[in-house]
Structure 1
């Protein structure tokens, strides 16, 4: 083989390597681009976290993915009451100060390669067999809001000698997505949640009752409604002050959330009045639930500003809508009738001595047009 042939062969080999490397890089960039599109499409924080903590691990063939979020005001945690992070433990951590983040990032720059033993314990406390990693600072408006840790059991996967601009770019996207999800969901919560009791507000309840009635109509299931009115609540405010009154309302909200199903809708309907929708619940079960809540409220011990205990009771009105009553019915009229019947039940409970449950049947909700056609 002549020198030109040999040189030509080497050039072809180098060109093949460069082409393969370019194709591989293009494939990597395409996979990151596709993942960024999915990140930007997340509207809820729990969906975003599942994408990062679960799907990243599978999609990018990683050994571990951990996330630390700076959450001093519980803005993120309040949105994740029912969220369960994936195993192993510590895949998701919240911190109230930046001490941990500052120890991982003395400067807000990506760290890649093999970690020292102390740093590995900070970044991957439940995954000691990580042999190389990329630690990504999540920065928004010059503030370190979190840290994303990508770990691999391949010692050559990440190296401090390589450039990871595409990963740094994705970290910026993730930081934006986290902030957007938190802001959007908190704005929505402000419009539907009563901030004192952390249950739905009246506006939200009035919207949801129509949706629940529509759902009950489609699935042919019953719907029950409870109105809970605290007895002599004005005396609590007058005797102990509005701060203690607020404490009572907040405690009632937590009690209701603790003792009702996730599918039940709880709302603060008025000053000291709460409304509850119980989907797929008949009248007998609703009365049983009402009595259980009445007893739980009566057993609840509250302390005033002098740490002296006192109790409070509640009068509860209950009504029930069967699937038959929803046939061809005007849902707005049914909603009006449900609220009136439950409110009448509260009034009756107050009349009969308070601290009791009273059931009020729902009046006929069939439209007059149906009756006229039937008569004709």
Structure 2
């Protein structure tokens, strides 16, 4: 072999080694980026946080043109946790399905789909995104059941090819499936510990935790904190006349009504039986009494229905109390919370004793509020 041939072969060998080294470095970078993302996925405890990571950060992190997600949610377990969640634009980045028809259309054999999407796949996986020229569709599977579908789209026709292996993407899909299930289970367990499952508002335990937090905030910011107690008038007669299922319907309706009326900073809870409580941060005596009376009037306009559809109306008695945590120098927050709740509960008793369907105010024990407004209560 000539010297010239050896030199040419040596150059080709060096070139091959450089290409191989470059490929190894690129693969290491890919593995590292996926490992970092996997750690972030596994650290999510809230479903909304997980979805933001997938739908927003995936696009920038992996330089994608579209990231869409479909979740199989027949019992609305995910949607219940995402009542206030707003998916990122464009439209259809997040969709829920109650049957597996769409998922079965995408995955006939539960395998990853990669390559150039045809018109049918574009319409199904990337509705409105006609610029997608290559894609990877990842089935999200748990316990041998497809629970969703993650769609990665690119305007680069060479980004995803069915001629290549995508083991790291398959692994990522498995991690995402686990994370979705974990977030839903974690949040549902957390909700069960703080939410009254019948009315879907806070339960008594969470309310008593929140009231001490709110007193602490009110003390630091030096603003008043008011508490409302609502007791449904003659609720026992509803159970006696229409049955306990109708009574449950009433409580659910009241819970939904109070959630609609509350301000963003308010805390609504079912305190027990037919009694509900509301915390009103930065709300003084006059404001809280007026708010309570407005609430009473709106409540009186509600039309309830029995389990058989029979319409009827109800009234409510409301007790109000206010404390000014900044003026207390000796009481603990726990004692202040007790005094505030006790005063509001006593005010409800006065409302009942005075004929029901009215608002009464009782000052918190030992309250030294700076202003003593002239209260006019019904």
TM-score grouping bracket, smaller chain normalisation: over 0.9
SS of 1:171's partner is helix
8 A contact 2:56–2:88 mirrored in 1:
yes
| Alignment correspondent of 1:161 | 163
Distance in 2 (alpha carbons) for counterparts of 1:186 and 1:348: 38
8 A contact 2:47–2:81 mirrored in 1:
yes
| Count of equivalent residues | 366
| Alignment correspondent of 1:69 | 71
* 4+ residue segments displaced more than 6 Å: none
Distance in 2 (alpha carbons) for counterparts of 1:166 and 1:326: 60
Cα–Cα, structure 1 residues 36 and 224, in superposed 2: closer, same or farther, change >3 Å?
Answer: same
Distance in 2 (alpha carbons) for counterparts of 1:318 and 1:325: 19
Cα–Cα, structure 1 residues 66 and 235, in superposed 2: closer, same or farther, change >3 Å?
Answer: same
| Alignment correspondent of 1:371 | none
201-210 or 3-12, which moves further after superposition? 201-210
Matches of residues 63-142 of structure 1 in structure 2 within 5 Å?
A: 63-142=65-144
Residues 1:269 and 2:271 are matched in the alignment: yes
SS of 2:74's partner is coil
Shift of 1:318: 0.6
| Alignment correspondent of 1:177 | 179
Matches of residues 137-148 of structure 1 in structure 2 within 5 Å?
A: 137-148=139-150
Distance in 1 (alpha carbons) for counterparts of 2:63 and 2:250: 51
| Alignment correspondent of 2:320 | 318
SS of 1:211's partner is helix
1:362 aligned residue (358, 361, 364)? 364
Distance in 2 (alpha carbons) for counterparts of 1:220 and 1:134: 55
Cα deviations by residue, 1:274-313 (Å, 9 ceiling, x for unpaired)? 0111112222221122112111111000122443211011
SS of 1:200's partner is coil
Cα deviations by residue, 1:292-351 (Å, 9 ceiling, x for unpaired)? 211111100012244321101100001111243344431111111111100011011111
8 A contact 2:66–2:153 mirrored in 1:
yes
| Alignment correspondent of 1:347 | 349
| Alignment correspondent of 1:370 | none
2:196 aligned residue (194, 204, 211)? 194
1:254 aligned residue (246, 253, 256)? 256
Shift of 1:365: 5.7
| Alignment correspondent of 1:46 | 48
Unaligned runs of 5+ in 1: 367-376
Distance in 2 (alpha carbons) for counterparts of 1:69 and 1:323: 46
| Alignment correspondent of 1:33 | 35
Distance in 2 (alpha carbons) for counterparts of 1:344 and 1:126: 59
Distance in 1 (alpha carbons) for counterparts of 2:308 and 2:70: 40
Distance in 2 (alpha carbons) for counterparts of 1:311 and 1:326: 42
Distance in 2 (alpha carbons) for counterparts of 1:47 and 1:305: 39
| Alignment correspondent of 1:373 | none
| Alignment correspondent of 2:292 | 290
1:223 aligned residue (197, 201, 225)? 225
Cα deviations by residue, 1:142-174 (Å, 9 ceiling, x for unpaired)? 110000001111111111111110011001000
Shift of 1:256: 0.5
RMSD: 1.2
SS of 2:77's partner is coil
Structure 1 length normalisation: TM-score?
Answer: 0.95
Cα deviations by residue, 1:94-118 (Å, 9 ceiling, x for unpaired)? 1111111111111111111111101
Distance in 2 (alpha carbons) for counterparts of 1:133 and 1:46: 25
SS of 1:15's partner is helix
Structure 2 length normalisation: TM-score?
Answer: 0.95
Unaligned runs of 5+ in 2: 369-378
Residues 1:16 and 2:13 are matched in the alignment: no
1:209 aligned residue (208, 211, 218)? 211
Distance in 2 (alpha carbons) for counterparts of 1:149 and 1:324: 54
SS of 1:199's partner is coil
Shift of 1:263: 2.1
Distance in 1 (alpha carbons) for counterparts of 2:307 and 2:182: 40
Distance in 1 (alpha carbons) for counterparts of 2:326 and 2:9: 88
Shift of 1:130: 0.9
114-123 or 328-337, which moves further after superposition? 328-337
